[in-house]
Every structure is written in C-alpha cells, then in structure tokens.
Amino acid sequence: MRKDLAHGRPPNESVIRIGLDAADAVRHALLARPAGGPVAIVADQAVVAFAGRIAHTLQGSGIDARLCTMVADERAKSLDTVGSLAAQLLAHGITRAGVVVAVGGGIVGDTAGFLAATYMRGVRCIQVPTTLLAMVDAAIGGKSAVNVVLRDGSLAKNAVGAFAMPELIVCDAQAIATLPPREMLCGLAECVKHALLADAGLAEWLAANAMSIMAKDTTAVHELVARAAAVKVGIVDRDPTEQGERALLNLGHTYAHAIESRHDDRIKHGEAVAIGLVAAMTVANRLGRVGVAQVEALRALLERVGLPTSLQDLVPVPDPAATLRRCMDHDKKRAGRGLVLVLPEGDVGAGLVEAPPEDAVMAGWSSVGAA
C-alpha cells in the first residue's frame, strides 16, 4: 500500500508519505529540493543503524549528511539537549539553508522538530518516525516541544514549544521492524483516541486486526497509519495553531501527562494515554455526556488490544489521587480559566469542558485505581 496525505496550508504545507522506503523517500525529497549545505540527521541512539542507512543513501547521491544522536527518554527531551544538538549542528556547518531530518519516535521528533524550528530562527525539517505512535500522531501537525524539570523533580510536559510544519513525514513499516511490542501498543493507544474522536469504524477495525498489527504485517500497519493519520490531518487542517478544535487531540492527555510527570521512568506515553482515556470517559459519564456502555466498550477495546486500563496494571503502588490531581494544574489548556478537560461526547466526538466538577475529576482518578 502506498499513499500520500497532504495537509497544511501554504506556505506551511506537508506531505505524509505512507508505504515507501524511508531512505529513498528522503533522498528523492532532498534531490528535488536540495539543502544549501550539509543535512543533519538527528536520530535516536536505539535506531542508529536505520538512521545510518538513510545517511548512507543520501551520501551515495552526493548529499552531505551528518549524523547526530540522542537518548530517547523524557528527561532528555529538554532545552539542554536542544542546546547540545545546536552546538553539533554549528560544528558540522549546518546553515540556515540546511535541513534537519528527525529519525526516531515522539521524543526525538519533538526535540529535533523544536531544534529545526528554532535553530537560526528556523530551518527545514523532515520527520522519519520509527514508532507507531509517532507515525499516527506525534510526527503530524507541526507541533514540537520539550519538557521542563520542576523544583520537585517532576516534569512539566511540553512546556516550551513551537509550531513549524515538517515538509515531509515518511511512514515506512520497515522503520518499526524491531520495535518492541510495548512500543507498538503505545501507538495503538493514540489510534484508539482517534477512533473516539472521529472514526467509530476504526475501533471495530482495531479490535479485528490487533494481532496482524502487533505482528507488524506491512499491509495492516500501513492501513492503520493511513486511517489514524487521516483523523489527525483533518483536525489539524481545520485548526493548525490549536485555537479550538485541535485541542480535542488532547483527549485523555491531561490525565496522561499527570501520570507521566510522576511515573515517567515506569509508564510510557501511550500507556498513560490509554489510562487517561478511561479516566476521561468516566468523567464524561459522570457528566451525562456518554453512557455506561461506552465506558465499558472502551475498557473492552483497550483490553482486547493489550493496553492497560488501570494504574495497577503498571505500578504496584500508584500515587495518591490528590497528588496526581495537583499535577493536572500544569496543563497548558488551563489558559487562566482553571482546569479544562477534553471529554468524549455522544457515540463519537469530544468537546472542551471548563472547570469540571472536582468530584467528577476525582472519579476519573478513582476509575483508574488512584487512591
């Protein structure tokens, strides 16, 4: 399966290329629109061999490619790392006419994307996601950000960021050939989120094809990426700078980011999102936006594909609900209005709810095992 999804608006247009060899796709893009000097490939250390093949392909076509690596963990997604990478780009002679090629999952995509958006006030960027989560969500839409470590040691997730659309996103199933099952599941969590937002049929398809996806069947993976990415593209194109509808893509994320801020060493983003979706659906039920059957259906779907639905699935002793509730106050959607949650509504769709009742918010935490 080969498919292109175009999104964005001039001059910030982007193409998502699904089903092509990543190295060839990047090479063709840089031959069609050459960089003015060396190209920087910023890669996750865990996929350095895959990134090296891209660099070798570019060099074979006369493109000067320089490989930089980083550790892909939440504490490395920081301004310190951006500064270190910027110093490497300067040492390699990357100019304002250069290109940053991000090769990795969401952490590398965010960090390298923010680097590209700010280095010399902005250079071109190509994203080559190597996780399912990044293919269906993190790499799409032009948002990039890094975390800030707070005084208590917790993380303010994505506290410093920018909007800058990558010119190309290459989704190649070969890029996830060695991806661990746990990371595959993290991508499925974002796909479930997209199904809740805009594609009810995707939920049924996920349940039926979970085994093929986890086995990394190329056809199934590319179809999943095309369907899930189309949901995000539709929303982003209607609201590119998150003034309204795009905020709905944060469904489950206010709870998820609170969980990650306390358990970033034990709980992965997709796992936190899965738990956050259950919490958000529970709050929606308490407020009469969805029925009990929808809460149960979500739990069943997550369990069917192998995702957690409770904190106890991942940590022996979860943080107290009151502690996790305080972490929610760092959420960017607050905007001076108090807590704002994205909550499901009806059979498919979601909406923003400002200052939801505290008992409903805490019911969300209780539903996922926070004491």
Active site residues: 121, 143, 190, 232, 242, 246, 250, 253, 257, 269
CA distance 32 to 30: 5
Beta strand 155-163 with 143-149 is antiparallel
Using CA atoms, how far residue 58 sits from 66, 81, 192, 287, in Å, is 10, 25, 36, 54
Q: Which two tokens stand for residue 120?
A: 């010399």
* CA angle centred on 187, ends 128 and 262, rounded to 5°: 105
Give burial (CB, 10 Å; 0-12/13-18/19+) of 153: exposed
CA distance 117 to 111: 10
CA distance 213 to 10: 35
Which of 358, 112, 159 lies closest to 260 in space, CA to CA? 159
**58 three-state secondary structure:** helix
Using CA atoms, how far residue 327 sits from 134, 256, 331, 367, in Å, is 25, 10, 8, 17
Q: Which two tokens stand for residue 87?
A: 């110093």
Around Cβ 314, how many Cβ atoms within 10 Å? Answer: 18
Using CA atoms, how far residue 59 sits from 24, 48, 55, 93, in Å, is 12, 16, 6, 16
CA distance 302 to 262: 22
CB 307 within 8 A of CB 192: yes
Which of 36, 27, 25, 37 lies closest to 61 in space, CA to CA? 27
CA distance 307 to 300: 10
